[in-house]
């Protein structure tokens, strides 16, 4: 089948109907913590235990993070919108706006999150204008009492069960 032309505005409009979690993916660049806000995080495989996220190829943050060979996915709670904004805007060092320690891989682990998934980089796959990063889980934890932050159509929100 021929590949039909997909309009960029239509792509954005349709994916504005698809909710994502909001995570801060962290890694060390030498002795400097680096991070990016990520909506493309998801589980992939239980055996072996793999997860994925997709940084854009033009991401300056990912260029700095990729050398570490490991990363920690900090899945934000729904009370952490300000934290998401501080890591997105980066006008001051966002790591000073939160309390964090170091996961087993050496990647920063941010306090107060809904979940943490600590990974070594398993594979980097070329995926159009993004990289598909597969991580092999070396440690994970979650706070069952904390609801995750949700992003939909350009807005933050909370999950509510039916």
Ligand X SMILES: Cc1cc2nc3c(=O)[nH]c(=O)nc-3n(C[C@H](O)[C@H](O)[C@H](O)COP(=O)(O)O)c2cc1C
The residue count of the chain comes to 162
- Tokens representing 72 are 């920690």
- Tokens representing 160 are 């509510």
131 half-sphere exposure, CB direction, 13 A CA radius: 17
Q: What is the largest CA-CA distance in the chain?
A: 52
Q: Which is nearer to ligand X, 1 or 110 (CB)?
A: 110
Q: Measure Cα distances from 112 to 3, 37, 39, 48, 77 in Å.
A: 44, 16, 18, 28, 7
Residue 113 has a CB neighbour count (10 Å cut-off) of 25
Instruction: Tell me how far, at minimum, the Cβ of 55 lies from ligand X, in Å.
Output: 4
Q: Which is nearer to ligand X, 39 or 106 (CB)?
A: 39
Q: How far apart are CA 75 and CA 123, in angstroms?
A: 21
Q: Which is nearer to ligand X, 40 or 102 (CB)?
A: 40
Q: Which is nearer to ligand X, 103 or 150 (CB)?
A: 150
Tell me which residues touch ligand X (CB under 6 A): 22, 36-40, 54-56, 59-62, 88, 151
Instruction: Tell me how far, at minimum, the Cβ of 11 lies from ligand X, in Å.
Output: 14
Instruction: Tell me how far, at minimum, the Cβ of 159 lies from ligand X, in Å.
Output: 15
Instruction: Tell me how far, at minimum, the Cβ of 54 lies from ligand X, in Å.
Output: 5
């Amino acid at each position: 089948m021929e590949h039909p032309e997909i309009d960029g505005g239509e792509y954005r409009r349709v994916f504005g109907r698809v909710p994502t979690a909001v995570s801060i993916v962290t890694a060390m660049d030498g002795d400097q913590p680096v991070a990016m806000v990520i909506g493309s995080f998801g589980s992939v495989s239980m055996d072996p235990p793999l997860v994925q996220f997709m940084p854009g190829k033009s991401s300056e943050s990912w260029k700095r993070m990729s050398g570490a060979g490991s990363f920690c996915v900090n899945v934000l709670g729904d009370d952490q919108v300000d934290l998401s904004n501080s890591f997105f805007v980066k006008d001051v060092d966002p790591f000073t706006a939160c309390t964090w320690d170091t996961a087993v891989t050496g990647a920063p682990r941010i306090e107060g999150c809904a979940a943490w998934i600590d990974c070594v980089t398993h594979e980097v796959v070329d995926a159009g204008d993004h990289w598909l990063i597969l991580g092999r889980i070396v440690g994970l934890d979650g706070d069952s009492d904390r609801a995750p932050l949700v992003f939909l159509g350009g807005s933050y929100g909370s999950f509510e069960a039916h």
